[in-house]
């Protein structure tokens, strides 16, 4: 009998919700879970041409309390329960003038999207996760959480808070058999991220490579495969860990 893993079946019978799942990293994560046999709901403000066709799409704004509750209710109704939650929704604007130029409302909005969305949605689906026999939460962070950069200080602070929240949640939910882990992407090539990096003051597109020991910008598949590990039975003894998938960027 072969001991080789059949990754096309590892999520059979599992139900997953991926926020920010209509494009970019989120869409690839959703597709990876679908390829593994999961039933998947993706939530985002709008569809895109790369939104996985086999996933159930929910339109909503996870950055508000009402939006998070509505998405949770609709996802649970569609899936009949939940085994995997991927809090991927996030982002921010860049302020070239640095920390002192970021207005108060931008701090509030960025924390709502990058931290409170995960807190609210996790709380809303927690009863369903507790009822699961294979519950896993994966929160998507950013290298900005540990690498000071004034133009995105608000984003880095929100992601740092997400990291701290995730560690605490992992300890608190471990007795319920719910695993909580973080994936921290480095620079990833997506249409949106590629355009955003062009707005970073003093850093050209080619200059990013000097920060990456492995010598290339990451792909969405690089992130999705680590999420799949953490959400699957392969990661059954992993919780409270932050996996930096960044080409060695934070190893320097």
pLDDT score at 4 = 66
* Alpha carbon distance, N-terminus to C-terminus of the chain: 43
Per-residue pLDDT at 222 exceeds 50: yes
pLDDT band at 231 (very low <50, low <70, confident <90, very high): very high
Residue 15's DSSP bridge partners are 39
- The dihedrals phi and psi of 63, each to the nearest 5 degrees, come to -80, -10
Q: Which of 77, 75, 67, 24 is closest to 45 using CA atoms?
A: 67
Per-residue pLDDT at 127 exceeds 60: yes
pLDDT score at 78 = 98
Per-residue pLDDT at 2 exceeds 50: no
Could you give the CA distance from residue 245 to residue 223 in angstroms, rounded to a whole number? Answer: 7
Could you give the CA distance from residue 44 to residue 31 in angstroms, rounded to a whole number? Answer: 15
The stretch 58-83 carries a mean pLDDT of 98
pLDDT score at 199 = 75
Catalytic residue among 155, 165, 211, 243: 155
pLDDT band at 47 (very low <50, low <70, confident <90, very high): very high
- The residues spanned by each domain of the chain are 15-245
Could you give the CA distance from residue 181 to residue 195 in angstroms, rounded to a whole number? Answer: 29
> E strands along 35-156, which residues?
39-44, 56-59, 84-87, 136-140
pLDDT score at 225 = 98
The stretch 51-63 carries a mean pLDDT of 97
Q: Which tens digits make up the pLDDT trace of 135-192?
A: 999 999 999 999 989 999 999 999 999 999 999 999 999 999 999 999 999 999 888 7
155 is catalytic: yes
Query: What does pLDDT average to over the chain?
Result: 94
Could you give the CA distance from residue 69 to residue 66 in angstroms, rounded to a whole number? Answer: 5
pLDDT score at 192 = 78
Could you give the CA distance from residue 41 to residue 30 in angstroms, rounded to a whole number? Answer: 8
- Lowest mean pLDDT segment, chosen from 48-57, 124-133, 193-202: 193-202
Q: What is the DSSP string of 71-103?
A: HHHHHHHHHSS-SEEEE--------TT-GGGS-
Q: Which two tokens stand for residue 27?
A: 């869409």
pLDDT score at 29 = 98
**Is the domain covering 15-245 a CATH 3.40.50.720 domain?**
yes
Q: Which two tokens stand for residue 110?
A: 């960025």
* DSSP letter assigned to residue 211: G
């Amino acid at each position: 009998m072969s001991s080789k893993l059949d990754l096309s079946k590892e999520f059979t019978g599992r139900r997953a919700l991926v926020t920010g799942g209509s494009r970019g990293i989120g869409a690839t994560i959703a597709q990876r879970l679908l390829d593994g046999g999961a039933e998947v709901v993706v939530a985002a403000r709008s569809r895109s041409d790369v939104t996985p066709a086999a996933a159930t799409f929910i339109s909503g704004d996870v950055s508000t309390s009402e939006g998070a509750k509505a998405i949770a209710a609709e996802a649970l109704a569609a899936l009949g329960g939940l085994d995997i939650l991927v809090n991927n929704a996030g982002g921010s604007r860049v302020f070239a003038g640095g920390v002192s130029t970021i207005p108060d409302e931008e701090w509030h909005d960025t924390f709502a999207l990058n931290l409170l969305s995960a807190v609210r949605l996790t709380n809303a689906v927690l009863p369903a996760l507790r009822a699961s026999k294979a519950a896993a939460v994966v929160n998507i962070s950013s290298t900005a959480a540990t690498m000071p950069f004034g133009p995105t200080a608000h984003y880095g602070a929100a992601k740092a808070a997400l990291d701290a929240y995730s560690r605490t949640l992992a300890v608190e939910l471990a007795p319920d058999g719910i695993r909580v882990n973080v994936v921290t992407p480095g620079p990833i090539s997506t249409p949106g991220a590629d355009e955003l990096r062009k707005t970073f003051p003093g850093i050209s597109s080619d200059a990013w490579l000097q920060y990456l020991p492995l010598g290339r910008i990451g792909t969405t598949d690089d992130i999705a495969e680590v999420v799949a590990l953490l959400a699957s039975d392969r990661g059954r003894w992993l919780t409270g860990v932050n996996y930096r998938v960044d080409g060695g960027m934070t190893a320097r």
